[in-house]
Amino acid sequence: MDAIKKKMQAMKLEKENAMDRADAQEQKSREAEKRAEKAEEDVKDLQKKIQQIENLLDETQEKLLTKEKALEEADKKSADVSAPLYVTLWSFEALRNIPLEISLMS
Protein backbone atom coordinates (compact mmCIF):
# COMPACT_ATOMS: atom_id res chain seq x y z
CA MET A 1 0.00 0.00 0.00
CA ASP A 2 2.86 2.39 0.76
CA ALA A 3 4.29 1.74 -2.65
CA ILE A 4 0.97 2.67 -4.26
CA LYS A 5 0.77 5.87 -2.16
CA LYS A 6 4.33 6.77 -3.10
CA LYS A 7 3.58 6.05 -6.74
CA MET A 8 0.41 8.19 -6.53
CA GLN A 9 2.33 11.05 -4.88
CA ALA A 10 5.08 10.82 -7.51
CA MET A 11 2.46 10.87 -10.27
CA LYS A 12 0.70 13.79 -8.60
CA LEU A 13 3.98 15.70 -8.34
CA GLU A 14 4.80 14.86 -11.95
CA LYS A 15 1.35 16.10 -13.00
CA GLU A 16 1.80 19.37 -11.06
CA ASN A 17 5.21 19.93 -12.64
CA ALA A 18 3.76 19.27 -16.09
CA MET A 19 0.91 21.69 -15.38
CA ASP A 20 3.40 24.33 -14.20
CA ARG A 21 5.47 23.86 -17.36
CA ALA A 22 2.30 24.07 -19.48
CA ASP A 23 1.23 27.27 -17.69
CA ALA A 24 4.69 28.77 -18.22
CA GLN A 25 4.59 27.86 -21.93
CA GLU A 26 1.10 29.34 -22.28
CA GLN A 27 2.32 32.55 -20.67
CA LYS A 28 5.30 32.68 -23.03
CA SER A 29 2.95 32.06 -25.94
CA ARG A 30 0.66 34.94 -24.90
CA GLU A 31 3.66 37.25 -24.52
CA ALA A 32 4.95 36.22 -27.95
CA GLU A 33 1.51 36.91 -29.47
CA LYS A 34 1.47 40.37 -27.86
CA ARG A 35 4.96 41.10 -29.27
CA ALA A 36 3.84 39.88 -32.71
CA GLU A 37 0.74 42.12 -32.60
CA LYS A 38 2.89 45.08 -31.54
CA ALA A 39 5.34 44.35 -34.37
CA GLU A 40 2.47 44.20 -36.88
CA GLU A 41 1.18 47.56 -35.64
CA ASP A 42 4.69 49.00 -35.95
CA VAL A 43 4.95 47.66 -39.50
CA LYS A 44 1.59 49.24 -40.42
CA ASP A 45 2.70 52.56 -38.93
CA LEU A 46 5.99 52.44 -40.82
CA GLN A 47 4.22 51.55 -44.06
CA LYS A 48 1.92 54.54 -43.55
CA LYS A 49 4.93 56.81 -42.94
CA ILE A 50 6.69 55.41 -46.01
CA GLN A 51 3.62 56.12 -48.12
CA GLN A 52 3.44 59.69 -46.81
CA ILE A 53 7.13 60.23 -47.54
CA GLU A 54 6.75 58.77 -51.04
CA ASN A 55 3.80 61.10 -51.69
CA LEU A 56 5.83 64.05 -50.43
CA LEU A 57 8.74 62.99 -52.65
CA ASP A 58 6.44 62.81 -55.68
CA GLU A 59 5.06 66.27 -54.96
CA THR A 60 8.55 67.68 -54.46
CA GLN A 61 9.82 66.11 -57.68
CA GLU A 62 6.88 67.58 -59.58
CA LYS A 63 7.60 71.01 -58.10
CA LEU A 64 11.27 70.64 -58.99
CA LEU A 65 10.41 69.71 -62.57
CA THR A 66 8.09 72.72 -62.84
CA LYS A 67 10.76 75.05 -61.44
CA GLU A 68 13.42 73.59 -63.76
CA LYS A 69 11.17 74.18 -66.78
CA ALA A 70 10.49 77.74 -65.64
CA LEU A 71 14.20 78.31 -65.14
CA GLU A 72 14.97 76.97 -68.63
CA GLU A 73 12.35 79.29 -70.13
CA ALA A 74 13.76 82.22 -68.18
CA ASP A 75 17.26 81.35 -69.40
CA LYS A 76 16.03 81.20 -72.98
CA LYS A 77 14.28 84.57 -72.62
CA SER A 78 17.36 86.00 -70.98
CA ALA A 79 19.55 84.71 -73.82
CA ASP A 80 17.12 86.13 -76.37
CA VAL A 81 17.15 89.52 -74.68
CA SER A 82 20.87 89.66 -73.98
CA ALA A 83 21.97 88.65 -77.49
CA PRO A 84 20.60 91.83 -79.13
CA LEU A 85 21.95 93.83 -76.21
CA TYR A 86 25.36 92.31 -76.71
CA VAL A 87 25.23 93.07 -80.42
CA THR A 88 24.12 96.60 -79.68
CA LEU A 89 26.91 97.12 -77.16
CA TRP A 90 29.42 95.54 -79.49
CA SER A 91 28.22 97.74 -82.32
CA PHE A 92 28.53 100.79 -80.11
CA GLU A 93 32.08 99.81 -79.17
CA ALA A 94 32.85 99.20 -82.84
CA LEU A 95 31.53 102.63 -83.73
CA ARG A 96 33.78 104.24 -81.15
CA ASN A 97 36.81 102.76 -82.86
CA ILE A 98 35.82 103.84 -86.37
CA PRO A 99 37.57 106.96 -87.54
CA LEU A 100 35.41 110.05 -87.50
CA GLU A 101 35.48 110.56 -91.23
CA ILE A 102 34.01 107.19 -91.94
CA SER A 103 31.35 107.69 -89.27
CA LEU A 104 30.21 110.86 -90.88
CA MET A 105 29.96 109.25 -94.25
CA SER A 106 27.55 106.63 -93.12
pLDDT score of 105 = 46
**51-72, pLDDT tens digit by residue?**
999 999 999 999 999 999 999 9
Q: How far is CA 100 from CA 8, 16, 60, 89, 105, in A?
A: 135, 123, 60, 19, 9
Residues of the chain with confidence (pLDDT) below 50: 102-106
The per-residue pLDDT for 102 is: 45
pLDDT value at position 75? Answer: 83
pLDDT of residue 103: 44
User: Taking the model in full, what pTM does it have?
Assistant: 0.53
